[in-house]
Amino acid sequence: MQKTDYDAIIIGAGPAGLTAGIYLARAREKTLIIDEGTGGGQLKLTHLIENYPGVLSLSGKELADTMREQAKAFDCDIRTSVELTGFDFTQEIKTIELDEEETISARSIIIAVGGIPRMLGIPSEKKFKGRGISYCATCDGDFFKGKDVITIGGGNSALEESVYLTRFVNSVTIIHQFDYFQAYAAAIEDAKKNSKISFILNTKIKEFLGENTLDKVLIENTVTGEISELKTDGVFIFIGYLPNTKIFKGHIDMNEAGEIIAGENMETNIKGVFAAGDVRTKKYRQVVTATSDGCIAALAATEYLSGNSGEL
């Protein structure tokens, strides 16, 4: 058999990718995890995890760091801050190109690249990104000490991150396009009982305004159509994530949303290529479902590598 650099390459070092790395490396498969960032995925941006089995409470960063150390303890190679610039999954031996100057081969691939923050799509949004608009409370909350900020969204992330922001800011105004929230009851309750948080419902953002930095937003009531201005020192947008699959489009089967289509064993339409975590078609997206995907993908990849294509 042709010699390869690795038995398996995992693209993405979030909870799905790290879990896959733990299982593959523990099975004595030579494994590499690569990530364009510092690793940890969205998990590392979450300030508090309270619903991961076996863990009462810890930060997303702590959990991600522990997973990374586990993978390394089983001799899984991890390379971060590298860019995937090309790949060829059409042959039995798969190859990836890093930073346009290095080619690495493996017999199996697990794609666990997660997602990127969904944008509102308002033209002025790009102008103020990093100049008053943020998508990460953990990353940027400290920059808004004593300020008045707006958060946009009605899901768990929007409400939980709004509560987190009250550690730093003077006030948080949650703007949501509906008159109800899609979050869990506990998240809604925590936000409503926080004295620093107020709500503007049935409202959407029309425009971001300011000179060099954001200083106000134009809002529209979705019931009455009334338009008004609201001053703010910053805006945090939490309206979900999009699968980070653009580079794989046309090479791997996806749905209309850009999510990779994978079966129960996480295998894609390409033999030896698996998808795990938020990047694949699925209804529920939680840390525990991502780690479950990573485990299954690793077990399926191990069977593939051993030449056993039977059921799990």
105-150: per-residue pLDDT in tens?
999 999 999 988 889 999 899 999 989 999 988 888 889 999 999 9
Which of 5, 77, 136, 190 is flagged as catalytic?
Answer: 136
- Asked if 97 and 143 sit in the same domain, the reply is no
User: So what's the pLDDT on residue 139?
Assistant: 80
232 in helix, strand or coil? coil
CA distance 230 to 164: 22
Q: Is the model's pLDDT at 312 over the cut of 50?
A: no
- Asked if 211 and 265 sit in the same domain, the reply is no
- Asked if 95 and 124 sit in the same domain, the reply is no
> In this structure, what CATH number is given to the domain that contains residue 165?
3.50.50.60
- Asked if 98 and 14 sit in the same domain, the reply is yes
Q: Is residue 1 part of a domain?
A: no
User: So what's the pLDDT on residue 3?
Assistant: 65
Q: Is the model's pLDDT at 45 over the cut of 80?
A: no
Which of 75, 88, 99, 139 is flagged as catalytic?
Answer: 139
User: Which pair of structure tokens corresponds to residue 46?
Assistant: 């979450």
- Asked if 103 and 52 sit in the same domain, the reply is yes
Q: Is residue 107 part of a domain?
A: yes
- Asked if 137 and 221 sit in the same domain, the reply is yes
- Read off the pLDDT band of 2 (50, 70, 90): low
- Read off the pLDDT band of 49 (50, 70, 90): confident
- Asked if 133 and 231 sit in the same domain, the reply is yes
Amino acid at 266: M
Least Cα distance to 48 among 164, 141, 145, 131 occurs for: 164
- End-of-domain residue from the set 191, 209, 237: 237
- Asked if 27 and 62 sit in the same domain, the reply is yes
- Asked if 164 and 226 sit in the same domain, the reply is yes
User: Which pair of structure tokens corresponds to residue 104?
Assistant: 């690495």
- End-of-domain residue from the set 210, 237, 264: 237
Q: Active-site residue 77, yes or no? A: no
- Asked if 94 and 134 sit in the same domain, the reply is no
Q: Active-site residue 293, yes or no? A: no
User: So what's the pLDDT on residue 56?
Assistant: 85
User: So what's the pLDDT on residue 6?
Assistant: 97
Percent of the chain with pLDDT over 90: 78
CA distance 310 to 156: 39
Q: Is residue 110 part of a domain?
A: yes
- Asked if 174 and 226 sit in the same domain, the reply is yes
Which one has a higher pLDDT value, 135 or 22?
22
pLDDT digits (tens, 9 = 90+) for 234-280: 999 999 888 999 999 999 999 998 999 999 999 999 999 999 999 99
Least Cα distance to 39 among 81, 9, 72 occurs for: 81
- End-of-domain residue from the set 221, 237, 253: 237
Domain count, the chain: 2
Q: Is residue 264 part of a domain?
A: yes
Beta strands in the chain (DSSP E): 6-11, 31-35, 77-80, 84-88, 94-98, 102-111, 115-117, 133-134, 148-152, 171-175, 197-200, 203-210, 214-221, 227-231, 234-237, 241-243, 273-275
pLDDT digits (tens, 9 = 90+) for 52-102: 898 888 888 899 999 999 999 999 999 999 999 999 999 999 999 999 789
- Read off the pLDDT band of 42 (50, 70, 90): confident
Is residue 89 within 8 A of residue 78, CB to CB? The reply is no
Is residue 172 within 8 A of residue 257, CB to CB? The reply is no
pLDDT digits (tens, 9 = 90+) for 185-227: 999 999 999 999 999 999 999 999 999 899 999 999 999 999 9
Q: Is the model's pLDDT at 305 over the cut of 60?
A: yes
CA-based end-to-end distance of the chain: 25
Amino acid at 33: I
Q: Active-site residue 7, yes or no? A: no
Instruction: Give me the domain span that covers residue 180.
Output: 119-237
Q: Is residue 35 part of a domain?
A: yes
- Asked if 16 and 123 sit in the same domain, the reply is no
User: So what's the pLDDT on residue 52?
Assistant: 87
